[in-house]
Structure 1
Amino acid sequence: MKLSKILPIYKITSKGIVIGDTKATLSVCFRMKMPIVFTQSDSDFQSTIEDFRKFLENLGEEVLIHKQDFYYRELYGLIPDDSKRKTNTEAFFETAYRNHFNERPYLRSESYLYVSKVGNSATIGVTKKYADIDENDWVQNILNSAEILKKSGIVLEPIPVEELLKEGNVFSQYFNFDKENIEQLKDVSFEKNKVYVGGKEVKIYSIEGEKQLPTTNIGYSKNFNALPVSNMFDFAYKLAVPHVVNQYIYVPSQIDMMQKFEQRKADMQSYNFKGSNDEAIQELMVMKQKCEKLACNVAYWHYNIMAFDEDINIIDKECKKAFSDSGFKPKEVSLTRKDLFLAGIPTNGVRLTLEKDKLMAVLLDLEAVAFMNLEQNYEDKNIAVTGTRLCDRIYGIPFSVDVFNEPKKKGWIKNQNTIVLSGSGGGKSFTTNLLLQTDYHQGAHIFCIDASFSYRLPCAMHNGVYLTFDDNNKISFNPFYLNFLKEPVAKDIFTSYQEEEEFDIEKEDNQSNVTRYRSRLEERMNTLMGIIVVMVKGEGETTSRFESTIYRMLLWEYFKDRTIHDRIEGCNFDDFYQFTKDNLERILKEKGVERDFNYRKFLLMLEPFRTGESLGYLLNSDDEKIKNLGDQRFIVIDVSKIRENKLLFSIISVLAMDLYNQKVAKLPLDVTKALVIDEAWQAISSPEMATFMKTQVKLIRKYGGRTVFISQELDDFISSEIIKESIIKNSSIKIFADMGEFKRNFEPIKKVMSISDSNEKKIMSLNMNNREGAFYKEVCICWEQRGQVYAVETPLEMKAIFETDPEEVMKILPQYEKYGVELASQNYADNIRNNIK
């Protein structure tokens, strides 16, 4: 068949309006963007469908909309980012990434909406018919009506006339059943009760009658793996062959429809032999009642699937499975194949209305909209851009997700602080490593306090500093030494302020060195107060406001004395202890509180940290290992071997945070500074640490830092008041990996984490239906109440670096030390592929 004879286009105007030959229609073409699949709640679907019905109603009567979804088979191909130079290691992993994912098949979708004003004429007098219609008014009415859809995440983008006329336009895309920009249209044949486009046979299945609808009650959505999806989800991405889906809704004159109903009712009553038409009469009455009750319009609806580019037997099998899963009764089209194919031409959907009583079902407009696909997969992003590479759940295709910056710009979150939670082996540290790698490559400084042994290999890969604290590696610190207090202007700190004055450590005054120095002194005093609390308080003991005031006053007097008398060079714990022993009783007497504070007991609790005592090495000198951390961009302090020693564990963790404070204070505000605390949060979760953590959170915010807290011990994590107040309330991003072991007792977690019902379903759906033969785990990232699920999958070479299982790490480390990162990870990957243990 010569296509020039069947193209139904009379003219495309300068405004992009398509004037059609069939019934003299005016049509406008839109590219359509919709919410991401698996992200909408039941209430979201209800709002989306009701909003779309309002959109349809606003368009008026004698309007037809044709939604057309193309699902093409693609092979994934990563296009490398050559805009910046890569290190050898970066280039190695980029190659591994391409080798792992390239040529992975998936269905890529494109969605269009054609809105047509239906005329009453046939194919003559087209220009006369619309001589009195203002094109601008018609287009503007559609655009104004489309504003309703935006709050539901549906965006209609008008296709300009230039795009409608160029190669690869929607018309040639349909005729060729191909996404390529092919100028020559393929031949179409309708011989032998079949449809051929070029050399491809196209199988058409349709839903065009009420008797094909599911017998169960249909809602706004259905469930797939406990998650709400479109009622037509089975005919979208789940249909595993290339296909085109055509969905039509025609809203006729409602007066004419009601008259048609009455006439049909009268006819059936006249020939109602022995009640043979009672059921049909009842259905008409129910339809009218539903229209009135729900304030809906009556509409004609048609749905068809055109499957191609696959073995016919596979198409039959997959389409029948889709119909079976959906509950719709299948109908393979043969006699009306030409009508349906021609009606599928963009802007020619009105052709269906010529045979609407045979090819279209009569439904409420609300029901018709509920039988539309109103969701899409993540957009293709095969070019390496800013963000972390995560994968979609359906095909495992990677794309770039900006977890931190874009959500902040969009107003989804108030801060970039993050909590990562899962059960044991759920993938939390693996996911964190992937996020940190992205941050590092984008110039971030990473500082990890790790009690889980999860960052040894990534630190090695980035040539970072890895400090292990155990009996054989005793790191020493001197938090009492403040070099800036040797400056002459530092003396003004103690003449301009009194220790009782409130001081906001987030305040910054670039004009005053005194103010800046006072701020830095307050920061260090907060650290030292945290250390003193750990020294003198037992587990579960709280620190009173009175005691905090004493500690603060003591520290203030100590630094005041050493600064004014130029004795800063000798500051360390021994010096502080001696000052306390010599002056604390006098200070208490001056304040009249010597009977309210047991200073002898206080000194006794401090004594183990003096030189010569059991912990005397800890606070009296800066270790050479920590003197040059300023320029290092990846630092890990491993405290996993001292977790059982609560005293040491807490002090080292507080000192590590102080190192982070010192480091980030020197960095520009626009540089990302991540403080990662993996299981080490236990060191600061006790009640006595409340004051320290409250101030620490302010410090991190002041310097533009970002915290990442990671835990698998959720019961302890959420039961700590300090964690709830200082960490959970100040973290806008919550990442959930596998939470299977908490399913039976999720309610407490849900309450503390402020998880919505919708996000709970997403979290509970993780890893329920993973693709066969693929090794990955899923995570749900919640930006406040916006939650999306992604697959976390990397090549095996990268898995070698992110591995957190201690046994596996110990296999890889000797390889790394002998051969380096690249060869060690390559050997590890090859061993897995070859099943060598």
Structure 2
Amino acid sequence: MRNILKATTLENKFPLFTVENGCIVSKDADITVAFRVELPELFTVTAAEYEAIHSAWNKAVKVLPDYSIVHKQDWFIKENYAPDIQKADLSFLSRSFERHFNERPFLNHTCYLFLTKTTKERSRMQSNFSTLCRGFLVPKEIKDKETVTKFLEAVGQFESIMNDSGFITLTRLNSDEITGTRETAGIVEKYFSLSQTYTTTLKDISLGADEMKIGDNILCLHTLSDAEDMPGKVGTDTRYEKLSTDRSDCRLSFASPVGVLLSCNHIYNQYIFIDDHTENLKQFEKMARNMHSLSKYSRANQINKSWIEEYLNEAHSQGLISVRCHCNIMAWSDDRDELKHIKNDVGSQLALMECKPRHNTTDTPTLFWAGIPGNQADFPAEESFYTFIEQALCLFTEETNYKSSLSPFGIKMVDRVTGKPLHIDISDLPMKKGIITNRNKFILGPSGSGKSFFTNHMVRQYYEQNAHVLLVDTGNSYLGLCEMINRKTHGEDGIYFTYTTENPIAFNPFYVEDGVFDIEKKESIKTLILTLWKRDDEAPTRAEEVALSNAVSSYIELITKDSSVTPCFNTFYEYVKTDYREHLQEKNVREKDFDIDNFLNVLEPYYKGGEYDYLLNSDKELDLLHKRFIVFELDNIKDHKILFPITTIIIMEVFISKMRKLKGIRKLILIEEAWKAIASANMADYIKYLYKTVRKYFGEAIVVTQEVEDIISSPIVKESIINNSDCKILLDQRKYLNKFDSIQNLLGLTDKERSQVLSINLANHPGRKYKEVWIGLGGTQSAVYATEVSLEEYFTYTTEETEKMELFALSEKLGGNLELAIKRLAFSKRNPEK
């Protein structure tokens, strides 16, 4: 039986001839250079920055010669998150996190740019002369080599202008990336497969009168090919209402509704055709005269004449360059019912741009064919409309979805739009790039904003990446995580200290493991004693500072020489009372310069027999050097005016000791509300010292607070903590909306950062449970992420008293197996009927 179907092979119709030196040469001798484009992340660009990006495109396009084509092709492909749970070193919580996002759908964005040099004749060709309609293609020879050379020089200038803009990065594709290799697919093969994966399988292409299919996928095409379809006014950017408030403005590019905000498989093609500008204007002059002569016969001619004249006036008065433009959205699905929804979605997104949605059925094959990388000159001329470069560039999408950091170190957060897990580095890579000069962090979030979940999530991942973590808490926020680590490591890590009357926390500030007292150790001891001695509002005199410094130095000299003297506060007190008193008398130090009796009287409660004699005379040392996760829970003494600040200071001093001895190991100290107790005038220098010193020892200090009044009213916090924290992390600030101007000024936030912070949790996905968090680095890089965790992590981090009690009660029933208890609770939450 004879086959009467009009079928042919792709080889017969293939419009490309060769790829040489990274340039695609078509069979009609058109030259195309291909680039991969990196765009800024969503919600991180301001209106002024969109203007700057638009200006860069404008400058770049103007360097191209006549009869060039700029084709920007944005791919948006639906993918499912594939968790990496095969790693042997994955912890229980990390594996739970990965499983939670298993098969989570998200939209992956890839952007290409094709710059093509064609001829005047080719640029005028219509769809009936497409290579798709021709029976046989005879390759043409490139005759004018000088034209090609000039075009390639212009392409180099184009690339430099865009890369120098600081917002967009163009990377030129080499021959293998265009054609592919035996193992990987090139961009041409990917285009014919409607895929961005490294597939090497081509599908059948069906070109019908009213439908086009590639494999099982049916294409749906919407075009912007007529000036009448365009809105009355276009801009570089537009206000995104969902994340804007009356006090803040969230901006997106004008074409963003058909970019990352259109959640289906689609390609957004943007074309600019650069013809001979002078010739274009001559044609319009001639057309205007014809319309004028015919205006008495038709009012439409009169109106058209006025529009053409306005176009010419704009071109001449403002020096604008006339170009042709076309945009189309090519979406697809293998399900006809889903395709109907996609068609409606694309139409509604175009309507958001105030464009007239035109569902094009007849031109789908030719426009698909013209979108082949390197075949841009095959575009049908009748599908384009005349405009200026500036207006045409407004139809470019200028943002991409969130990207993961390439750094090996980092924490897992979640894309606020798609819900895809992201790996972000907010410590090492920004330091390497010079975005920040220290790793310190300041976290601000009111109660209920998800602050504890974020900090638990962060420190857990730091710990799992071999960092030493020391936490100072006042609310049992880390009890679950600490217990989990303790039971997993059989007590090696996850040490939880809490203050009780029966078992108070005790220290020995004069003990050093190696017997060496360096300058930092001496300074921390002096700061501690000064805090015990003087009130917050009582500054020491210069003479008192010198006397105290000499006392500490001479006592340290004594204990290093005389092994019979036990280093502790008791022996220091006795030394000052006897030997140092005699030393002062020999030097004739006056009482008004240093009142030693007053000094001893004030410090007597910490000497043996005193009310707090246990505090500074511990006979056992906390093994902080080898314990990688330690929590000091000070809730029971948080309101004690003496114990709380002293205990906090000593913990910090212990951390500094740990910091000095662990060479090349990451370490961090996270202080919750405890910082309020040490934010005194006496402590200002010590806090500054801690913050500046941590940076030099591969460490970071993190302060967490929820009371905005405390930051606004405390100059010490501002000078010591905020100014030395290059990473600022803010959670939902809507409770402080009326005070946010003060917060913005205090933290030095830009207007862009303000808009990002005030957009937190404004448009959360109803089907997902998460809280958003803003992370700003050095005032130059910032974004909002989602803290979304698995149920297993939720029950580990929860601060709800009833949930914690239920968890630990179940754990006791299971013989202390906390991990199994968490699994049981998570399972019962997922399957309430079982």
TM-score between both structures, scaled by the size of structure 1: 0.88
Instruction: Go from structure 1 to structure 2 and tell me whether the alpha carbon gap of 1:257 and 1:378 turns closer, same or farther (over 3 Å shift).
Output: same
Instruction: Go from structure 1 to structure 2 and tell me whether the alpha carbon gap of 1:629 and 1:181 turns closer, same or farther (over 3 Å shift).
Output: closer
Report the Cα offset of residue 81 of structure 1: 5.7
Report the Cα offset of residue 109 of structure 1: 2.1
Higher mean displacement: 280-289 or 613-622: 280-289
Pairing 1:127-138 to 2, within 5 Å after superposition = 127-133=140-146, 138=151
C-alpha distance in 1 between matches for 2:706 and 2:795? 22
Instruction: State the Cα deviation string for residues 216-243 of structure 1 (Å, max 9, x = none).
Output: 5534344252221121111112212211
Give secondary structure in 2 for the equivalent of 1:671: coil
Answering whether residue 374 of structure 2 is matched by residue 347 of structure 1, we say yes
Match of residue 522 from structure 1: 519
8 Å CA contact 2:404–2:423 kept in 1: the answer is no
Give secondary structure in 2 for the equivalent of 1:646: coil
C-alpha distance in 1 between matches for 2:425 and 2:554? 48
Amino acid at match of 1:303: C
CA RMSD of aligned residues (A): 2.8
Report the Cα offset of residue 116 of structure 1: 0.5
Answering whether residue 71 of structure 2 is matched by residue 40 of structure 1, we say no
Match of residue 340 from structure 2: 313
Give secondary structure in 2 for the equivalent of 1:789: strand
Match of residue 270 from structure 1: 293
C-alpha distance in 1 between matches for 2:207 and 2:451? 56
Answering whether residue 15 of structure 2 is matched by residue 9 of structure 1, we say yes
Give secondary structure in 2 for the equivalent of 1:108: strand
Report the Cα offset of residue 131 of structure 1: 4.0
Answering whether residue 256 of structure 2 is matched by residue 259 of structure 1, we say no
Give secondary structure in 2 for the equivalent of 1:308: strand
Match of residue 229 from structure 2: 212
Report the Cα offset of residue 780 of structure 1: 1.5
Instruction: State the Cα deviation string for residues 718-751 of structure 1 (Å, max 9, x = none).
Output: 4322222222111111111222212221111111
Instruction: Go from structure 1 to structure 2 and tell me whether the alpha carbon gap of 1:788 and 1:711 turns closer, same or farther (over 3 Å shift).
Output: same
Match of 1:368 among 385, 392, 399: 392
Amino acid at match of 1:26: I
C-alpha distance in 1 between matches for 2:60 and 2:582? 79
Match of residue 575 from structure 1: 571
8 Å CA contact 1:8–1:348 kept in 2: the answer is no
Aligned residues: 790
C-alpha distance in 1 between matches for 2:545 and 2:534? 12
Pairing 1:274-423 to 2, within 5 Å after superposition = 276-292=300-316, 294-309=318-333, 310=335, 311-352=338-379, 354-355=380-381, 358-379=382-403, 386-423=409-446
Instruction: State the Cα deviation string for residues 754-784 of structure 1 (Å, max 9, x = none).
Output: 1111111111111111112111111121111
Answering whether residue 60 of structure 2 is matched by residue 65 of structure 1, we say no
Report the Cα offset of residue 449 of structure 1: 1.4
Match of residue 639 from structure 2: 644
Give secondary structure in 2 for the equivalent of 1:651: helix
Higher mean displacement: 777-786 or 434-443: 434-443
Match of residue 488 from structure 1: none
8 Å CA contact 1:523–1:699 kept in 2: the answer is no
Give secondary structure in 1 for the equivalent of 2:103: coil
Match of residue 557 from structure 1: 554
Instruction: Go from structure 1 to structure 2 and tell me whether the alpha carbon gap of 1:581 and 1:380 turns closer, same or farther (over 3 Å shift).
Output: closer
Pairing 1:805-816 to 2, within 5 Å after superposition = 805-816=800-811
8 Å CA contact 2:63–2:157 kept in 1: the answer is no
Report the Cα offset of residue 27 of structure 1: 1.0
Pairing 1:478-627 to 2, within 5 Å after superposition = 478-482=508-512, 517=516, 520-563=517-560, 566=562, 569-582=565-578, 590=587, 592-622=589-619, 624=620, 626-627=621-622
Match of residue 119 from structure 1: 119
Match of 2:265 among 242, 249, 256: 242
Pairing 1:697-716 to 2, within 5 Å after superposition = 697-716=691-710
Instruction: State the Cα deviation string for residues 317-374 of structure 1 (Å, max 9, x = none).
Output: 212221232222111112333332222222223233x42xx42232221121121112
Instruction: Go from structure 1 to structure 2 and tell me whether the alpha carbon gap of 1:584 and 1:714 turns closer, same or farther (over 3 Å shift).
Output: farther
Match of residue 143 from structure 1: 156
C-alpha distance in 1 between matches for 2:669 and 2:213? 61
Report the Cα offset of residue 308 of structure 1: 0.8
Match of residue 634 from structure 1: 629
Match of 1:178 among 190, 195, 199: 195
Match of residue 713 from structure 2: 719
Match of 2:505 among 475, 485, 490: 475
Amino acid at match of 1:740: R
Pairing 1:76-87 to 2, within 5 Å after superposition = 76-80=81-85, 82=87, 85-86=88-89
C-alpha distance in 2 between matches for 1:548 and 1:136? 76
Report the Cα offset of residue 128 of structure 1: 4.1
8 Å CA contact 2:476–2:633 kept in 1: the answer is yes
8 Å CA contact 2:637–2:644 kept in 1: the answer is yes
Report the Cα offset of residue 316 of structure 1: 2.4
Match of residue 445 from structure 1: 468
Higher mean displacement: 302-311 or 529-538: 529-538
C-alpha distance in 2 between matches for 1:542 and 1:286? 76
Match of residue 125 from structure 2: none
Match of residue 498 from structure 1: none
C-alpha distance in 1 between matches for 2:475 and 2:537? 24
Match of residue 503 from structure 1: none
Amino acid at match of 2:304: A
C-alpha distance in 2 between matches for 1:328 and 1:423? 42
Instruction: Go from structure 1 to structure 2 and tell me whether the alpha carbon gap of 1:157 and 1:483 turns closer, same or farther (over 3 Å shift).
Output: closer
8 Å CA contact 1:470–1:641 kept in 2: the answer is yes
Higher mean displacement: 573-582 or 639-648: 573-582
Amino acid at match of 2:436: I
C-alpha distance in 1 between matches for 2:385 and 2:712? 54
TM-score between both structures, scaled by the size of structure 2: 0.89
Higher mean displacement: 582-591 or 224-233: 582-591
Amino acid at match of 1:645: H
Instruction: Go from structure 1 to structure 2 and tell me whether the alpha carbon gap of 1:715 and 1:293 turns closer, same or farther (over 3 Å shift).
Output: farther
8 Å CA contact 2:808–2:818 kept in 1: the answer is no
C-alpha distance in 2 between matches for 1:809 and 1:544? 50
8 Å CA contact 1:673–1:704 kept in 2: the answer is yes
Give secondary structure in 2 for the equivalent of 1:665: helix
Instruction: Go from structure 1 to structure 2 and tell me whether the alpha carbon gap of 1:717 and 1:169 turns closer, same or farther (over 3 Å shift).
Output: same
Match of 2:204 among 187, 193, 212: 187
Unaligned runs of 5+ in 1: 486-516
Unaligned runs of 5+ in 2: 1-6, 123-130, 132-136, 245-249, 487-493
Higher mean displacement: 180-189 or 440-449: 180-189
Amino acid at match of 1:474: P
C-alpha distance in 2 between matches for 1:652 and 1:137? 73
Instruction: State the Cα deviation string for residues 533-557 of structure 1 (Å, max 9, x = none).
Output: 3323334444454543333233223
C-alpha distance in 1 between matches for 2:502 and 2:281? 89
C-alpha distance in 2 between matches for 1:558 and 1:385? 47
Answering whether residue 15 of structure 2 is matched by residue 19 of structure 1, we say no
